[in-house]
Structure formats: structure tokens, C-alpha cells
A and B are shown apart, each in its own frame.
Chain A
Amino acid sequence: GESVGLHLPTLSVQEGDNSIINCAYSNSASDYFIWYKQESGKGPQFIIDIRSNMDKRQGQRVTVLLNKTVKHLSLQIAATQPGDSAVYFCAETNTGFQKLVFGTGTRLLVSP
């Protein structure tokens, strides 16, 4: 497969654990945030998004938390499965700016 990053931070968890992936964003004017999952050989896949007027949003097995005070995003994955193994990126933008700024990514490794 293709390597999306040679020196990505890695989070290793056991199947069934809860995973938390963190991201510090750069622009205090950003008002829309997205988490993507990228598997080897594929493009980034949308997981969940959140706007700056919210501090928490839940999806299926995933929760995103936004702390605007410290410019921090986190992605929580409940009951992590081997199929969750991938690189996870946070992305930020400002509505109307038409450009996503991506974080460096975190590799999640899930052991059975």
C-alpha cells in the first residue's frame, strides 16, 4: 500500500478499546471542522464534521469534541475494531474560504 506519512504519530489500541485522536488546529477564525479516515491506497473518507457553534457532535461510534478556547479537536471512537485501522486527519476551514487545511494525521493501529 501507499504510505501517507513516514513519521506520523501512532496510536495503538486493542480491539474493543475506546480510542481518542487529538488535533490542534491553527486558525482561530476557522468555523468548520472535519475528520477524515484514510486507508492505504484510498482517498480520505469523511467521518464526521462539526461547526464552531457546537462543542460536541455524535455519530455512529464516533464523537467529535471541539474546544475553541485552546483550538483543539478530538475524535473519539467507541469499541474500536480492526477495520478502524487507518490514518486519521482533522481539517479546518472558514465558511466561504473554499480551502481545507489538514493536520498532519495520526495512524491508528488496532490489534485483535
Chain B
Amino acid sequence: KAGVTQTPRYLIKTRGQQVTLSCSPISGHRSVSWYQQTPGQGLQFLFEYFSETQRNKGNFPGRFSGRQFSNSRSEMNVSTLELGDSALYLCASSPTGTGISPLHFGNGTRLTVT
């Protein structure tokens, strides 16, 4: 089976712009989660989707949003980018959700905001 695929791998944006990141989960996985990883804060939960519904959201401002499509693919969007949004954004999938089976992560999108 192919793993979790995230595109693009690298992005450079300017403050104030917006960005959309894409994630294709492992085939058959219906739960998709997003995490932000920075050297200072470590791995922080953004949100989780299952069957196109957001089931949980982390403590991030409303500039961070996401969605899931009927084929389980997911996108996250960050609007009005700030320098502090520079991070590795990780997508993870599992068959039904976090507490039932482990999440399987993609290799992330490295976002740099200048």
C-alpha cells in the first residue's frame, strides 16, 4: 500500500499570503489528522477529520482551517501567513481514528514564511 502522501514538499511564502497544503491518506483510511512541528513547540495537533467532518480541533487561531473530501483526501489552509507559521506540517491517517489504531504520518510539507 502507498503511504500518506503530502504535497508540496516545500513551500516558501511571504507574510500576509495564504497557503493550501494537500494530503492523500493511505487507501481505506477515513481519518485524517494534521499536526504542526516546530523546534520550539514540538508536535502540536491542528485538527482531525473523519468522513468529511471535523471531530476535534487544536488550539490554533482561526487562520488555520481544513477540510476533507469524500475520497478522504484532505487539505489545510493557512490565511494571512505570519513568520511564526514557518513549520513542518504533517498529515497522518488511520482507519477510524486516533485512539483505535496508530496514526501513519506522511513526510510533511516544509513551509517557510518570509
Q: Name which residue of chain B comes closest to A36, CB basis.
A: B105
Inter-chain contacts of B35 with A (CB < 8 A) = 100, 102
Cβ 8 A contact of A105, one of B42, B58, B106, B108: B42
Q: A46 CA to B42 CA in the complex, in Å?
A: 17
Query: Interface-forming stretch among B13-21, B66-74, B77-85, B94-102?
Result: B94-102
Among the listed A5, A42, A102, which residue makes an inter-chain contact with B39, where contact means beta carbons less than 8 Å apart?
A5
Interchain CB contact (< 8 A) of B55 among A41, A44, A98, A103:
A98
Please, how many angstroms separate the alpha-carbon atoms of A44 and B100 in the complex?
Answer: 18
Q: How far is the CB of B36 from chain A (nearest CB, A)?
A: 11
Answer yes or no: A110 CB below 8 A from chain B CBs.
no
Residues of B in contact (CB 8 Å), total 31
B75 at the interface (CB under 8 A from A): no
B interface footprint on A76-112 (CB within 8 Å = 1, 0 otherwise): 0000000000000101011111111111110000000
- Interface range, A side: 20 to 34
| A3 sits at the interface (CB 8 A) | yes
Query: What's the nearest-Cβ distance from chain A to residue B87, in Å?
Result: 10
Decide if A4 is an interface residue (CB 8 Å cutoff).
yes
Q: Is A6 an interface residue (CB 8 A)?
A: yes
A98 and B88 contact, CB distance less than 8 A: no
Q: How far is the CA of A96 from the CA of B37 in the complex (A)?
A: 23
What CA separation (Å) do A91 and B110 show in the bound complex? 22
| CA of A19 to CA of B98, assembled, Å | 27
Instruction: Give every chain A residue within 8 A of B24 (Cβ-Cβ).
Output: none
Interface residues of A in 50-100 (CB under 8 A from B): 89, 91, 93-100
Q: How far is the CA of A96 from the CA of B40 in the complex (A)?
A: 28
Which residue on A lies nearest to B45, using beta carbons?
Answer: A99
Interface on B for A, CB 8 Å cutoff?
Answer: 4, 31, 33, 35, 37, 39-40, 42-45, 48, 50, 55-56, 58, 88, 90, 92, 97-100, 102-108, 110
Residues of A within 8 A of B (CB): 2-6, 31-32, 34, 36, 41-46, 49, 89, 91, 93-105
